[in-house]
């Protein structure tokens, strides 16, 4: 979901007020979270918004906006995996558990300095059960069964700094099941990235209750499967990043994985001077002052 902020739009006008407004824009994500209004509410001018120290204001005003590219569906030797590993900036590799190359892909990503997420299969409202893959979390499961599945998935994928959802439109709307998943995240020092397959997701709000950052995908790169579309989406990522000072975006390996990788590569070449591409853990640390703690492999 692409949020629009009135204050940020004004920044584009480059008036004499632009410097002051720009500082407000750049501060907005962290201020919004500190004030518990979340990234989806306008908080920059709120008297209740938390004020970071002056030093961090300087850093944020001069830094390039950060973008984290998450690539989903690793773990089954999917098409495009090699192209993604060869991209010239850090990406975040989301690995499905219990598949032939799950462990290998996670280790490769880690060796390259890329962050790893467990790409946890979660029940959708619609869609074929066979698309879910092994070890899926379903809403009909008991709390104990959900916990068992989440822990098993985390144990199967080394170096994970967090979890994001594969499918999951039904589970991310279910507070009971999300609470179990987030409790495990909390215990292990991990965060949850809502892939945002459900506009009514309660994942972010529930994460806040657990004291976890409400991290969510903003833009899918490859809902249309060609590199030209992916490049266009990368330009939207840039716009979003300039408005909110950061952006999280998701692409996929798979049947069209090579085309997606080519589009991402073109986008990186075009944006690299104005955008800082980072792993998801660095982005979460910078936006929410929250650090993941790696579980031992
Ligand atoms: Zn997926």
Q: Are 124 and 145 in contact (CB under 8 A)?
A: no
The verdict on 93 and 43 lying in the same domain is no
Domain boundary among 47, 62, 77: 62
Query: Residue 153 Cα, ligand 1 centroid: separation in angstroms?
Result: 14
Does residue 70 sit in the same domain as residue 47? no
What is the distance in A from the centroid of ligand 1 to the CA of 41? Answer: 28
Report how far ligand 1's centroid is from the alpha carbon of 54 (Å).
Answer: 40
In a shared domain, residues 22 and 149: no
Domain shared by 97 and 160, yes or no: yes
Confirm whether 211 is domain-assigned: yes
Across residues 70-77, what is the average pLDDT? Answer: 98
Question: pLDDT value at position 59?
Answer: 53
Q: What is the 3-state secondary structure (H, E, C) of the chain?
A: CCCCCHHHHHHCCCCCCHHHHHHHHHHHHHHHHHCCCCCCCCCCCCCCCCCCCHHHHHHHHHCCCEEEEEEEEECCCCCCHHHHHCCCCCCEEEECCCCCCHHHHHHHHHHCCCEEEEEEEECCCCCCHHHCCCCCECCCCCHHHHHHHHHHHHHHCCCEEEEEEEECCCHHHCHHHHHHHHHHHHHHCCEEEECCCCCCCCHHHHHHHCCCCCEECCEECCCCCCHHHHHHHHHHHHHHHHHHCEEEEEEECCCCHHHHHHHHHHHHHHHCCCCEECCHHHHHHHHHCCCCCCCCC
Residue where a domain terminates, one of 62, 81, 97: 62
Is the pLDDT confidence value at 194 over 70?
yes
CB 208 within 8 A of CB 191: no
Distance, in Å, from the CA atom of 269 to the CA atom of 171, rounded to the nearest integer, reads 37
Q: Tell me: do 223 and 254 sit in the same domain.
A: yes
Same domain, 29 and 93: no
Arithmetic mean of pLDDT, 108-119: 98
pLDDT in tens, 258-267: 999 999 999 9
3-state secondary structure of 200: coil
154: domain CATH number? 3.20.20.370
Which of 184, 154, 180, 153 is CA-nearest to residue 296?
Answer: 154
Please name the residues in contact with 56: beta carbons below 8 A apart, sequence gap of 6 or more: none
Residue 121 and residue 256 in one domain: yes
How far apart CA 84 and CA 89 sit, in angstroms, is 10
160 and 38 in one domain? no
218 inside domain: yes
Q: How far is the CA of 120 from the centre of ligand 1 (A)?
A: 8
Looking at the fold, whether 174 and 266 belong to one and the same domain comes out as: yes
Task: Answer whether residue 293 is part of any domain.
Answer: no
| Residue positions counted in the chain | 297
User: Is position 147 within any domain?
Assistant: yes
Look at the chain and report how many structural domains it folds into. Answer: 2
Output the CA 170–ligand 1 centroid distance in Å: 14
Q: Range of 36's domain?
A: 6-62
What distance in angstroms lies between residue 237's CA and the mean position of ligand 1's atoms? 20
Q: Residue 140: what pLDDT? A: 95
Residue 68: CA count within 13 A, CB half-sphere? 26
For residues 233-257, give the mean pLDDT: 97
Q: Structure tokens of 242?
A: 């300039």
**Contacts for 91 with CB less than 8 Å, ≥ 6 apart:** 69, 70, 71, 84, 114, 264, 277, 279
Quote the pLDDT of residue 205: 97
Q: Report whether pLDDT(38) > 80.
A: no
Are 264 and 85 within 8 A, CB to CB? Answer: no
How far is the centre of ligand 1, averaged over its atoms, from the C-alpha of 119 (Å)? 7
The model's confidence at residue 61, banded by pLDDT at 50, 70 and 90, is low
295 lies in some domain: no
In a domain, 296, yes or no: no
Out of 19, 43, 62, a domain closes at: 62
Together in a domain, 54 and 180: no
Residue 2 has pLDDT above 90, yes or no: no
Would you say residue 297 lies in a domain? no
Residue 100's pLDDT band, with cuts at 50, 70 and 90, is very high
Instruction: Give pTM, 2 decimals.
Output: 0.80
Report CA(236)–ligand 1 centroid distance (Å).
21
Q: What is the pLDDT of residue 24?
A: 30
Q: Is 80 in the same domain as 218? A: yes
* pLDDT beyond 90 at 270: yes
For residue 186, is it within any domain? Answer: yes
Residues 18 and 100 in one domain: no
Helices (H), 221-276: 227-244, 257-271
């Amino acid at each position: 979901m692409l949020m629009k902020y009135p204050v940020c739009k004004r920044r584009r006008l480059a008036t004499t007020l632009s410097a002051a407004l720009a500082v407000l824009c750049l501060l907005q994500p962290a201020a919004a979270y500190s004030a518990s209004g979340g990234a989806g509410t306008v908080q920059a001018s709120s008297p209740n918004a938390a004020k970071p120290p002056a030093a961090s204001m300087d850093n944020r005003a001069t830094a390039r906006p950060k973008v984290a590219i998450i690539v989903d569906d690793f773990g089954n030797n999917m098409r495009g995996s090699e192209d993604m590993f060869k991209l010239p900036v850090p990406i975040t590799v989301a690995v499905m558990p219990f598949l032939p190359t799950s462990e290998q892909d996670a280790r490769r990503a880690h060796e390259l300095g890329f962050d790893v997420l467990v790409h946890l299969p979660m029940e959708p409202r619609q869609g074929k059960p066979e698309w879910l893959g092994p070890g899926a979390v379903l809403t009909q499961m008991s709390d104990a069964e959900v916990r068992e599945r989440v822990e098993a998935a985390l144990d199967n994928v080394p170096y994970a700094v967090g979890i994001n959802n594969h499918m999951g439109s039904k589970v991310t709307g279910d507070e009971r099941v999300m609470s179990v998943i987030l409790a495990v995240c909390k215990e292990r020092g991990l965060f949850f990235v809502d892939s945002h397959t459900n506009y009514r997701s309660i994942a972010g709000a529930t994460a806040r209750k657990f004291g976890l950052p409400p991290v969510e995908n903003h833009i899918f790169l490859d809902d249309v499967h060609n590199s030209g579309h992916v490049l266009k989406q990368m330009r939207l990522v840039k716009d979003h990043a300039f408005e909110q000072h950061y952006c999280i975006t998701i692409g996929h390996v798979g049947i069209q994985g090579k085309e997606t990788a080519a589009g991402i590569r073109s986008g990186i070449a075009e944006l690299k001077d104005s955008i800082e591409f980072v792993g998801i853990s660095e982005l979460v640390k910078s936006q929410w002052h929250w650090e993941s703690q790696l579980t031992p492999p």
